[in-house]
Amino acid sequence: MDATDELAIIKLGVDDAIAGLVLSTEAHWNQTEEDWRIFLHDGIVFGIRDGRRLVATAALLPYSGKNAWISMVLVSGTHRRRGLATRLVDACLETARRNGLTSWLDATPDGAAVYGPLGFTPTLQLRRLKLVKSAFASAQPPSSATLDALRMRDRQATGLDRTALLSNFAQRPGSRIVSANGAIALVRDGRTARHIGPLFADDTAAALTLVEAIARSETGPLLLDAVASQAAFPDGLTASGWSIERPFQRMRFGPATAAGEDMPFAVAGPEFG
């Protein structure tokens, strides 16, 4: 028996936020301690410790309409390729099954190859884009918008009531909700870059114009997770200096649930959907 087979799966608590952040930082992910606290407070986070050290995690974050998001599937480099991630995802799926939840996740290409045989079905694709900014902002920020306006567009697009998540984002220092010409987006801090999303717009031109206005008013690097089927949007971003970092494949485990009426241009992030 491999020694890792004896490592027990445990449920983590809010006091484990820093230990989780150590894992996501090792993986060069953009999550903050506040992001971890969302999963630990509002969801279920399974973990594996080797001694006192947290070496692997996976989170299940419930949403409305019998949906849940699986994310934060992380294994320390010292413990990879030993089946820990599969065990933790299985724990998430079993919890979702007991509660009658359809599970979703956004997988890297390597992850998609693992999740497909487990029964996950591919849905839409995402493209993570990054813009490296200069050290100074050159324009005034776009107009502010209300949390209620963002929440309504989010529900219309996703079919989910994510008031708690969006409220958490909006209340953080440095966060802002901005809008212009039928487009609206949330901008928040990440560990290494500011993140734009979710972003909704009446058309591609409005989405690109809002992102350009945000970029002109920011001083540091920016990340954005674009919906690939809105093809003119990521194409317009790359034409204006954004670079594609990696793709993500959105996948579903379980029956289809109620979908939104509109397609977002950018999502809240692969960890949040």
∠ CA 57-43-105, nearest 5°, is 65
The two tokens of residue 142 are: 């776009």
Structural domain including 232 reads 127-253
Question: Does 96 fall in a domain?
Answer: yes
Question: Does 8 fall in a domain?
Answer: yes
Closest C-alpha to 74, from 93, 98, 90, 54: 54
3-class secondary structure, 36: helix
Burial of 262 (0-12, 13-18, 19+ CB in 10 A): middle
Q: What is the CATH number of the domain that holds 183?
A: 3.40.630.90
| pLDDT band, very low/low/confident/very high, at 114 (cuts 50, 70, 90) | confident
Question: Does 16 fall in a domain?
Answer: yes
**Radius of gyration for the alpha carbons in the chain, expressed in angstroms and rounded:** 18
Question: Does 111 fall in a domain?
Answer: no
Question: Does 213 fall in a domain?
Answer: yes
For residue 142, pLDDT beyond 70: yes
Residues 48 and 144 in one domain: no
Residues 131 and 249 in one domain: yes
pLDDT digits (tens, 9 = 90+) for 191-215: 999 999 999 999 999 999 999 999 9
For residue 120, pLDDT beyond 50: yes
Question: Does 272 fall in a domain?
Answer: no
Other beta carbons within 10 angstroms of residue 138's beta carbon come to 11
Residues 137 and 241 in one domain: yes
Minimum mean pLDDT range among 62-71, 159-168, 251-260: 251-260
Name which residue leads in pLDDT, 40 or 6: 40
Residues 139 and 26 in one domain: no
Question: Does 82 fall in a domain?
Answer: yes
For residue 139, pLDDT beyond 90: no
The two tokens of residue 154 are: 């989010």
pLDDT digits (tens, 9 = 90+) for 92-102: 999 999 999 99
Residues 84 and 144 in one domain: no
Residues 69 and 166 in one domain: no
* Structural domains counted in the chain: 2
Question: Does 269 fall in a domain?
Answer: no
pLDDT digits (tens, 9 = 90+) for 161-194: 999 999 999 999 999 999 999 999 999 999 999 9
Q: What is the pLDDT of residue 1?
A: 38
Q: What is the CATH number of the domain that holds 93?
A: 3.40.630.30
pLDDT digits (tens, 9 = 90+) for 19-34: 999 999 999 999 999 9
